[in-house]
Amino acid sequence: MSTNSWDFRALFASNEECEREADSLIKECDEFQNTYSGKLDGLSEDKFNAALLAYEALNERIAGVATYAFLVFAQDTKNGAFYAKIDEKTTLAAEGLLFFDLEFNSLSDEKAAIFSAANAKYAYYLKLLREHKPHQLKLEQEQVLLRVSSTGAQAFARLFDETFSKMRFKFQDKNLSEEEILSKLYDPNREVRKEAALSLSATLEQNQHLLVYIYNMIRADLATQCELRDYDSPEAPRHLDNQIKKQSVDSLINSAQTSFDLVSRYYHKKRELLGLEQLYDYDRYAPLKDSGAKVEYEKAKQIVLEAFNEFSPRFADIAKRAFSEGWIDVYPKEGKRGGAFSHGAVSRAHPYVLLNYTDEMRDVFTLAHELGHAIHQNLSYSVGYLNADTPLTTAETASVFCEMLVFDYVRSGLSKEAHRALLARKLEDIFATLYRQINFTTFEREVHAKKGELSADEFNELWLKESKKMFGDSVTLNEYYKIWWSYIPHFIHTPFYCYAYSYAQLLVLALFGLYKSGKCADFVSIYTEFLSSGGSKSPAELVAMFGFDINDDEFWQIGLEQVRTLVKQFEEM
């Protein structure tokens, strides 16, 4: 088997084997429910621990089945029927486990504390369960919501995905996909970028009625969920899942907004270097240097391995396994899902990385990003399935950090012109991960604060207002830019997800600055422990390992100072 495509054998040898496991899980989860439902309060500490371990094992097996079906579909979307069949079976299996969390939260505080104290490994997991207690419904209600989940927000999210997968954008004499038309915004030819922006906007305009309706349904569904579960705001469920307080998010947003001048400074300088009188929205990603050089995958592997090895041989060893053991599906092909991701899968297998590698320099950084996720996921297997999952606030840490390792490695030895072009691309990536995601979050706050359905004009006005805050007078946003909110998938799939990218970007810049300063002699070992902890500790505890306090307003300034340094370097080159 080629090492440039996935080896599924770590999960299942065939679709039939996966389906047999799914059928078995339905029965075993039902047996688990019959054994323990209504009886947790009467269990001894040892028997509760046994029940918790059995619960974990069943959840991990369900995850293995769901992972396999998802990956088979991602590799070839013609496998939609198989994916849907397995999704139905895993939903039925999960229904048999639904009682466990609810019943644990129905225990008295004293009893829950006894069980938690007797199980140090999962004490934090059980603590998080208790924090969800005020927002949980009765078992019968939760079962109904689980059953209808695929016809609520999930259904509109699927409609959004299917709409964009079929959407084509007229460009010259071709009809391009969304990914292809967006890539044209990075073209060195200004006329190509402008035409791509107009094509993107025209097709979004043609579909705006549907896209507005989908977003309104997502808003309505979230409002209903928050009302049923007694959340005080639409963003509260996300903060709870992210294990972060709204106060910290507010501080992050304020710190980012008060440093928007860095964005303006950068784009004013870029306009000068491009020799333009005015910088338009379609000029934002114009390359400063078009070398035309391609980076083949074998070369990218070499770059990543050398950069990782300089930091940590252990990181490099995990990446070598990914390259040689079928962890990565590398090249685009018909029917394959676009974009890139790393799926943590389960501990009996390994993470699975999807790329659509096209020999561009940005693909090298995407490879580093996704391998960072894979390293994080692989290390976190050690704390057990229930503890391994990380909140969004720390999930992006390793990926962005690994990008920085490769950036730092690649830029050494470059000519001044090439270095400046690479630094420009890195700053634009940082702006997209930090400032643009803050704009997304403030846009979502405005959108979800409104009552009733919003019109297209209302969405558009809010989007343009928030976007202009970031660019100031450095970039002119054309009238068509007002509808570009409508292709952002996070608004549909995971409301209020986006600030986690900003959080991770500033956290990584702070950590990377600490690493490069040499002031923390044990940085590599502490960072490895940080990643290996997965979700077994709070983000505040994890960051405190480096002496930082994420609840201190000054914390965000550490990362922002790194941005200021990079902008200054760019201006002085």
Residue 349 lies in a domain: no
DSSP annotation string for 475-541:
SBPPGGGGGGGGG-THHHHSTT-THHHHHHHHHHHHHHHHHHHT--TTHHHHHHHHHHTTTSS-HHH
End-to-end CA distance of the chain: 47
- Residues 6+ positions from 226 with CB-CB distance below 8 Å: 233, 234, 236, 237
The CA-atom distances, in angstroms, between 509 and each of 433, 504, 558 are 12, 8, 8
- The answer to whether 466 and 498 are in contact (CB under 8 A) is no
Report the pLDDT value the prediction gives residue 290, as an integer from 0 to 100: 67
- The answer to whether 379 and 353 are in contact (CB under 8 A) is no
Residue 87 lies in a domain: yes
Residue 514 lies in a domain: no
- Residues 6+ positions from 194 with CB-CB distance below 8 Å: 280, 282
- The answer to whether 322 and 371 are in contact (CB under 8 A) is yes
Helix ranges (H only) for 312-360 are 313-324
- The answer to whether 378 and 93 are in contact (CB under 8 A) is no
Count structural domains, the chain.
1
What residues pair up with 458 in beta bridges, in sequence order? none
Residue 62 lies in a domain: yes
- The answer to whether 440 and 544 are in contact (CB under 8 A) is no
DSSP 3-state of 289: coil
Report the pLDDT value the prediction gives residue 148, as an integer from 0 to 100: 83
Report the pLDDT value the prediction gives residue 364, as an integer from 0 to 100: 94
Residue 49 lies in a domain: yes
Interior/surface letters 180-218, b for 16+ CB within 10 angstroms, e for the rest: ebbbbbbbeeeebbbbbbbbbbebbeebeeebbebbbbb
Residue 390 lies in a domain: no
- Mean pLDDT per block of 10 residues along the chain (573 residues) reads 85 98 98 97 96 98 97 88 92 95 96 94 95 93 85 86 87 90 92 98 97 97 96 96 89 94 97 96 90 85 98 98 97 82 96 92 92 98 95 87 95 86 92 95 97 97 96 96 95 93 91 92 96 93 91 85 94 89
Residue 144 lies in a domain: yes
The CA-atom distances, in angstroms, between 13 and each of 16, 265, 294, 479 are 8, 55, 36, 53
Report the pLDDT value the prediction gives residue 180, as an integer from 0 to 100: 87
- Residues 6+ positions from 330 with CB-CB distance below 8 Å: 4, 5, 297, 355, 357
Order of all β-strands in the sheet with 352-354? 328-329, 352-354, 341-343
Residue 50 lies in a domain: yes
How far is residue 92's CA from residue 573's CA, in Å, rounded to a whole number? 60
- The answer to whether 341 and 366 are in contact (CB under 8 A) is no
Report the pLDDT value the prediction gives residue 335, as an integer from 0 to 100: 77
How far is residue 123's CA from residue 199's CA, in Å, rounded to a whole number? 53
What count of other Cβ atoms lies within 10 Å of the Cβ of residue 140? 8
Report the pLDDT value the prediction gives residue 382, as an integer from 0 to 100: 96
Run of H or E residues at 352: strand 352-354
Q: What is the span of the domain harbouring residue 130?
A: 8-150
Smallest CA-to-CA distance from 529 within 395, 383, 386 is with 383
Report the pLDDT value the prediction gives residue 1, as an integer from 0 to 100: 46
Q: What is the CATH number of the domain that holds 75?
A: 1.20.140.70
How far is residue 30's CA from residue 92's CA, in Å, rounded to a whole number? 9
Smallest CA-to-CA distance from 310 within 426, 405, 376 is with 405
